[in-house]
Structure 1
Amino acid sequence: MGLASRHNHPMPAKPAATPAKTLSAPQKALIKLGLVRDIDLALHLPLRYEDETRIVKLRDVREGDTAQIEATVTACEITMRPRRQLLVTVDDGSDTCVMRFFSFYPSHQKALAVGNRIRARGEVKGGFMGLTMMHPTFKAAGGNLAEALTPVYSTVAGLAQAYLRRAVITGLNHADLSETLPPGIPWPDPRGAWSLREALQFLHHPTPDVSLASLEDRSHPAWIRLKCEELLAQQLSQLTAKRERDLLRAPALKHKAQGLYGQLLKALPFGLTNAQQRVGREIAQDLARQVPMHRLLQGDVGAGKTVVAALAAMVAVDAGWQCALMAPTEILATQHFAKLVGWLEPLGVKVAWLIGSQKKKERAAMLAMIESGEAALVVGTHAVIQEHVKFKNLALAVIDEQHRFGVAQRLALRGKMQEGGMEPHMLMMTATPIPRTLAMSYYADLDVSVIDELPPGRTPIVTRVVSDHRRDEVVARIGAQLQQGRQVYWVCPLIEESEALDLTNATQTHADLSEALPGVMVGLLHSRMPVAEKKAVMDLFTAGQMGVLVSTTVIEVGVDVPNASLMVIEHAERFGLSQLHQLRGRVGRGAAASACVLLYGTPEGGRLSETARERLRAMVETNDGFEIARRDLEIRGPGEFLGARQSGAPLLRFADLETDSHLLDWARALAPQMLDQHPYLAERHIGRWLGGKSEYLKA
């Protein structure tokens, strides 16, 4: 992939092949920022700009402007009130201004002595003392003015702007910026038709006549060019990964309508929705091919993904192969196991299970069943991918809540197939629906199936946002639900008291509710409890003996208790939108009308942040997981959405999926043409933009 770097020359400011011990602090800081190659420096674009191209008169400055002035010092004194500070008065002939410094050295006083003429730059404020500047930058007057806006880069400790600016200029001069886009391609936006070198030179040093707004909102032609390049690199990289995977081989698993698949369909106590049937067909078609399936199955909370996975497993078992299902938590793995055993053992299908807390004897028995092939289906947590787990003939791997697993874990599961040169089929499932633009960019290497309807009988959930001050009313409502024989979840964000976040901890809430609801069994569940204790609590709640379950977010995914009809989420403002939606999906699973109460606390005398308010508003306005996901993407950006894909997948730095979807469409159309007709250019383009990061996309 490193074709682009062949043309890179060493640069003084950049650590070349220098032993780590001899690197200077700024060179180490460059590496920490990921600025290793010349092209990395060239693509490290400014956060903002300072205008040092002109001098203005104080009389023409408006309050709040950042201005550069030339003036004579008329007074310079240290004052002790209200604290030690240096006050310097300057006069530029049109007005005076006081420059205020709270940290200063004798050299400051010397440079700012009365009578000296200086050039200063800073934000001008009005007030009781007239115009003031806090800690402006300054130097002796005279000398040439800058010809372009001065870039300000994001940096880390130990890396001064001046050093970083020099390093970027060196990188920009030495990087190979020759064209990697095929000649004569149509641009999605005629304004993007700058060369890469022109665009980068301009964005690092824009001319003073540029519209600052077009730089800030990234609508300037130079920005359009960079976004096109970045999106194209991402699409090329994803498509390359997909094509490489399509060259691999997997066992062709033929679907037998009369076999276990059909028997399971008949035995289920419910019928499949149209969406489940459609998705089932898509998966069966993939499994019948000799190319490894790489499909992402998304469906809202409660849409019935597990039964679709079970049907896919039956196709594999019917063909004489094994299937593994990996879930992120023991609670979820246990639920899957219980459900699958209930469905499959009557059909004569043996289900094994592996979790970290298993007793040695039970684990040994399970490992023997898996290795001999007696267990056709294996359900478990990360324990499934440990080295000593040997499958007889694994052909299908199902990963639930795939964003919770890292790239290495997914690769380890793929490596469990013993047959030489073959790969297992992979089905990844998520209850966090992925907005279309995200699916087209970050998941472009996957085939995506969507279960877009809920099974009949799911009751709509009413969501209410309630201030923490009305907590007593919420407890009274819980009492009313319990009298009707219903059960209640109460979710807390933290286990222990934290001084930084003054939150009511789960233990305290448990004690308070136990006191407020005499005669009711109130359980407590949190991640630090021993597994056996967690299981005992969940069993009591599932069996209906426990009225209220106080829990941290360990119940976020997969818990299924149809009798639970009320979900209270404490400090809801501290949760992400997708997480709130997942938690809400734990109720509304039975016939009873269900509700979700979002309790929010406000900082002392303060207000909720705009982000928190947007989240809570979205929860009240919609139950639709796809709409929730779209709004979540708007609020948070793609970073947090991608979970484990972040461990290497290049997050977009420049393009914005909301505003640049037309550029994404262009990149998607161009990528296959480039790979087919200009493979050398495509490889250089990926190497330039992604370096080694594209390897991660193959998982």
Structure 2
Amino acid sequence: MPVAPASAPAAPEVSSAPPPAKPAALSGPQKAMRKLGLVRDMDLVLHLPLRWEDATRLVRLVDARVGEVVQFEATVTACEVVNRGRRQLVATVEDGGARCELRFFHFYPTTRRALEVGARVRVRGELRHGLFGLTVMHPTLSVAGSPLPSSLTPVYPTVAGLPQTYLRRAIAQALQRADLSETIPPEFLDQNLLSPAWNGRLALTFLHQPPPTECPQTLEDRQHPAWQRLKAEELLAQQLAQAQARRERARLRAPVLVSAPGPQALPERLLAALPFALTGAQNRVVAEVAADLARERPMHRLLQGDVGSGKTVVAALAAAVAIDAGWQCALMAPTELLAEQHFGKLVAWLAPLGVEVAWLTGSQKKAERTAALARIASGQAALVVGTHAVIQAQVQFARLGLAIIDEQHRFGVAQRLALRDKQAANGFEPHLLMMSATPIPRTLAMSYYADLDVSTLDELPPGRTPVLTRVLSNARRGEVVERIRGQLAQGRQVYWVCPLIEESEALDLRNATATHAELTAALPGVTVALLHSRMPAADKRAVMAAFASGEVGVLVSTTVIEVGVDVPNASLMVIEHAERFGLSQLHQLRGRVGRGAAASACVLLYEAPEGGRLGETARERLRAMVETHDGFEIARRDLAIRGPGEFLGARQSGTPLLRFADLTADAALLEWARRVAPQLLERHPDLAARHVARWLGGKSDFLKA
């Protein structure tokens, strides 16, 4: 099977070393390749085609079929630059009595020289019917009579400044240089899933240069045995990296956090003081977390639960264990509003028990912040709650034993590592509890989160009322306003969520400011408040306090209220331009209502494109919201619709660890990889290390946080 034509000009050497300190010194295609992350030979080898073109055969122009991409050779009979509405180069070619017009809207002097009258050219492009007969728009030109390729021509993902020809040469040479030796012993191959005829080298060479007998469409659907082999290798690399991360963490040491036995222990006193009883799920998860905290190795646990399942009280009990053992706890949330909700609950629960809780955000006044930093450094503040401010360099803990991160998918790897690296006394690693109100589908828990222990709150506390969900066109906006009047007359409150703060030329969306003015005019005598992320923190707090106390009837907001806001008297949620929101985000917003005894509803207002219908993806999302309230089913559908990005957030810092495998379609391969990874790591650690380095390079670091 050919790898590179012998006459191919040499592509620049691609180093396997890390990128140089000053990539700006690079120019042209090299700089463009670095922009694509093509640094090592293996990066190039794993840069697989988007599609393939068959340039291995010629047809006679007289036999070519309109609507197909064809390749033929013909003689140029005319060529001129004309102005037919816009400047263009038009050439006429003939072959065996058939005539075709070639048309270029963008062209260079070399194009005109190649199309001199009398020249014989090879033309490739889609044959169409035009005003003057057969036409090919912007065809590919080459010299007639030159050798035809012996394999299908790959078309690669690229960026400006990186021509396909350059990329093809670089990849062909990388295939020759790269170490593609086998890393999976034969005994680990499942012949029901993977053909023994295909190893990694054969699969990669085949997909870069398929023989002309292969159908391009068959290759593009990624079901060929060569694709199966590569998807299996990719999933195995990910599972190996996860297992390695877990092993590395197991070698670290964390403080043993065990509270004193008896009714005077802080966790017991907190349980006795709570105005509600824990659910069975909460009791189970509290026990799982306590068992982790009592071990010498750092806890690395994800606490997932649907909207309103009671994650905060689990976090409070975990903090109580750490504090009772003589250590500090830090809780970090992605927004000041959410952090403040946590702070209010934790102070109400723990302050009466003698626990000092410190507050840290970027908007604090200097004197207040200085005092908080001093209490944290001295250990006087046993619990610290805040935003990203918690991980800043000047924050020094006396004895940090437990770090809790809420809505963990909103934080980047560096931010999570920074909190974990706030080293406790004597070099101990703090325990880490991550929380998410977006349940993780099983396939994601098996893959991207395989290095975590996962606890699930799968039971809602009593008292939550079902939320009726309706989907309405924006044309029925007036009916919604009437519904709001009815709710207000019953003493209830209403959320109205908008996607933007102010007008955007790029998106034709109503903004929160305009909606606030509209509802204020439509509801005389009702206090309509506005809340968005650009408001000063003090103003946000004042608006939320007024809404929570019942002074505000309607709160017009952006998605700043997505998580953490708890106002039981709010019974109606209106989400404007719901077609623009992600499914899990819609579910989070709906979870702001139904928190009291009153019947609650969520109205999803949508606006279809002018004269058209909503796209299929938007329709699927809105349909799912009507059909189910189960956060786990919502998460499963969201994964099917959007892929893993919604759940992962910044876990991979924008660099997906799976490029070829699909977690849903390739579930059987994922099961195989989960089964094989620990065995390969145990019995062939050198092969496992080579396999991870080949597929992930430095990206395996993204799994350590």
TM-score when scaled to structure 1? 0.95
Tell me how far 1:614 sits from its aligned partner.
1.9
Contact 2:51 2:216 survives alignment (8 Å)? no
CA 1:11–1:249 in 2, change beyond 3 Å: closer, same or farther?
farther
Instruction: Give me the whole-angstrom Cα distance separating, in 2, the residues matched to 1:475 and 1:151.
Output: 56
Tell me how far 1:575 sits from its aligned partner.
1.4
CA 1:367–1:111 in 2, change beyond 3 Å: closer, same or farther?
closer
Q: Which residue of 2 aligns with 1:419?
A: 425
Q: Which residue of 1 aligns with 2:225?
A: 221
Tell me how far 1:635 sits from its aligned partner.
1.7
SS of aligned partner of 1:70: strand
CA 1:560–1:85 in 2, change beyond 3 Å: closer, same or farther?
same
Instruction: Give me the whole-angstrom Cα distance separating, in 2, the residues matched to 1:357 and 1:171.
Output: 52
Q: Which residue of 2 aligns with 1:55?
A: 58
**Counterpart check, 1:89 vs 2:95:** no
Of the candidates 32, 45, 48, which is equivalent to residue 35 of structure 2? 32
Contact 1:284 1:315 survives alignment (8 Å)? yes
Instruction: Give me the whole-angstrom Cα distance separating, in 1, the residues matched to 2:588 and 2:436.
Output: 11
Structure 1 residue runs of 5 or longer lacking an equivalent are 1-9
**Counterpart check, 1:238 vs 2:231:** no
Tell me how far 1:359 sits from its aligned partner.
2.5
Instruction: Give me the whole-angstrom Cα distance separating, in 1, the residues matched to 2:109 and 2:238.
Output: 53
SS of aligned partner of 2:573: strand
Instruction: Give me the whole-angstrom Cα distance separating, in 2, the residues matched to 1:153 and 1:353.
Output: 51
CA 1:127–1:618 in 2, change beyond 3 Å: closer, same or farther?
farther
Structure 1, 490-499 or 85-94: larger mean CA deviation: 85-94
Q: Which residue of 2 aligns with 1:5?
A: none
Structure 1, 246-255 or 168-177: larger mean CA deviation: 246-255
Q: Which residue of 2 aligns with 1:98?
A: 101
SS of aligned partner of 1:126: strand
Q: Which residue of 1 aligns with 2:609?
A: 603
Contact 1:193 1:225 survives alignment (8 Å)? no
Q: Which residue of 2 aligns with 1:4?
A: none
Tell me how far 1:603 sits from its aligned partner.
2.9
1:663-678 residue pairs with structure 2 within 5 A? 663-678=669-684
Which string of whole-angstrom CA distances, capped at 9 and with x for unpartnered residues, describes residues 108-166 of structure 1? 34433444332211112235544321111122321221110001111111111111111
Paired amino acid for 1:526: H
Tell me how far 1:60 sits from its aligned partner.
4.4
Of the candidates 121, 142, 160, which is equivalent to residue 145 of structure 2? 142
Instruction: Give me the whole-angstrom Cα distance separating, in 2, the residues matched to 1:616 and 1:489.
Output: 19
Which string of whole-angstrom CA distances, capped at 9 and with x for unpartnered residues, describes residues 656-689 of structure 1? 1111111111111111111111111111111111
Of the candidates 491, 495, 515, which is equivalent to residue 489 of structure 1? 495
Q: Which residue of 2 aligns with 1:434?
A: 440
Tell me how far 1:194 sits from its aligned partner.
1.2
Contact 2:53 2:216 survives alignment (8 Å)? no
Structure 1, 228-237 or 63-72: larger mean CA deviation: 63-72
Contact 2:499 2:577 survives alignment (8 Å)? yes
Instruction: Give me the whole-angstrom Cα distance separating, in 1, the residues matched to 2:583 and 2:523.
Output: 30
Q: Which residue of 1 aligns with 2:253?
A: 249
Q: Which residue of 2 aligns with 1:593?
A: 599
1:286-685 residue pairs with structure 2 within 5 A? 286-647=292-653, 650-685=656-691
Contact 2:333 2:386 survives alignment (8 Å)? yes
Q: Which residue of 2 aligns with 1:3?
A: none
Contact 2:333 2:405 survives alignment (8 Å)? yes
SS of aligned partner of 2:187: coil
Paired amino acid for 1:615: R
Contact 2:262 2:268 survives alignment (8 Å)? yes
Instruction: Give me the whole-angstrom Cα distance separating, in 1, the residues matched to 2:196 and 2:354.
Output: 62
Contact 1:11 1:171 survives alignment (8 Å)? no
Structure 1, 674-683 or 537-546: larger mean CA deviation: 674-683
Q: Which residue of 1 aligns with 2:6?
A: none
Instruction: Give me the whole-angstrom Cα distance separating, in 1, the residues matched to 2:200 and 2:611.
Output: 51
Contact 1:332 1:559 survives alignment (8 Å)? yes
- Larger RCO, structures 1/2 (Cα 8 Å, 6+ apart): 1
Structure 1, 598-607 or 481-490: larger mean CA deviation: 598-607
Q: Which residue of 1 aligns with 2:48?
A: 45
Q: Percent identity?
A: 71
Contact 1:648 1:693 survives alignment (8 Å)? no
Instruction: Give me the whole-angstrom Cα distance separating, in 2, the residues matched to 1:310 and 1:16.
Output: 48
Contact 2:238 2:657 survives alignment (8 Å)? no
Contact 1:650 1:694 survives alignment (8 Å)? no
Instruction: Give me the whole-angstrom Cα distance separating, in 2, the residues matched to 1:516 and 1:533.
Output: 24
CA 1:62–1:420 in 2, change beyond 3 Å: closer, same or farther?
farther
Instruction: Give me the whole-angstrom Cα distance separating, in 1, the residues matched to 2:580 and 2:165.
Output: 39
SS of aligned partner of 2:91: strand
Tell me how far 1:59 sits from its aligned partner.
4.9
CA 1:118–1:297 in 2, change beyond 3 Å: closer, same or farther?
same
User: What is the number of residues matched between the two proteins?
Assistant: 690
Structure 1, 246-255 or 195-204: larger mean CA deviation: 246-255
Tell me how far 1:70 sits from its aligned partner.
2.0
Paired amino acid for 2:321: V
CA 1:65–1:252 in 2, change beyond 3 Å: closer, same or farther?
same
SS of aligned partner of 2:270: helix
Tell me how far 1:69 sits from its aligned partner.
1.5
SS of aligned partner of 1:184: helix
Instruction: Give me the whole-angstrom Cα distance separating, in 1, the residues matched to 2:79 and 2:183.
Output: 57
Tell me how far 1:432 sits from its aligned partner.
0.9
Q: Which residue of 2 aligns with 1:120?
A: 123
SS of aligned partner of 2:629: coil
Contact 2:24 2:31 survives alignment (8 Å)? no
Paired amino acid for 1:657: L
Paired amino acid for 2:86: R
Tell me how far 1:623 sits from its aligned partner.
1.3
Instruction: Give me the whole-angstrom Cα distance separating, in 1, the residues matched to 2:401 and 2:106.
Output: 67
Contact 2:496 2:575 survives alignment (8 Å)? yes
Instruction: Give me the whole-angstrom Cα distance separating, in 1, the residues matched to 2:16 and 2:682.
Output: 35
CA 1:241–1:362 in 2, change beyond 3 Å: closer, same or farther?
same
Which string of whole-angstrom CA distances, capped at 9 and with x for unpartnered residues, describes residues 335-388 of structure 1? 111111212223222222222222333333333332333322221111222222
Instruction: Give me the whole-angstrom Cα distance separating, in 2, the residues matched to 1:416 and 1:519.
Output: 52
Structure 1, 112-121 or 175-184: larger mean CA deviation: 112-121
Paired amino acid for 1:260: L
Paired amino acid for 2:14: K
Contact 2:424 2:430 survives alignment (8 Å)? no
Structure 1, 293-302 or 353-362: larger mean CA deviation: 353-362
Q: State the Cα RMSD in Å.
A: 2.0
Q: Which residue of 1 aligns with 2:167?
A: 164
Q: Which residue of 1 aligns with 2:7?
A: none
Which string of whole-angstrom CA distances, capped at 9 and with x for unpartnered residues, describes residues 405-448 of structure 1? 12222122122233223111110000111111111111111101
Structure 1, 20-29 or 165-174: larger mean CA deviation: 20-29
SS of aligned partner of 2:651: helix
CA 1:190–1:416 in 2, change beyond 3 Å: closer, same or farther?
closer
CA 1:249–1:106 in 2, change beyond 3 Å: closer, same or farther?
closer
CA 1:110–1:414 in 2, change beyond 3 Å: closer, same or farther?
closer
Instruction: Give me the whole-angstrom Cα distance separating, in 2, the residues matched to 1:106 and 1:325.
Output: 64
Instruction: Give me the whole-angstrom Cα distance separating, in 2, the residues matched to 1:412 and 1:675.
Output: 29
Q: Which residue of 1 aligns with 2:72?
A: 69
Contact 1:322 1:375 survives alignment (8 Å)? yes
Instruction: Give me the whole-angstrom Cα distance separating, in 1, the residues matched to 2:109 and 2:31.
Output: 32
Tell me how far 1:283 sits from its aligned partner.
1.0
Q: Which residue of 2 aligns with 1:196?
A: 200
Instruction: Give me the whole-angstrom Cα distance separating, in 1, the residues matched to 2:199 and 2:449.
Output: 29
Paired amino acid for 2:12: P
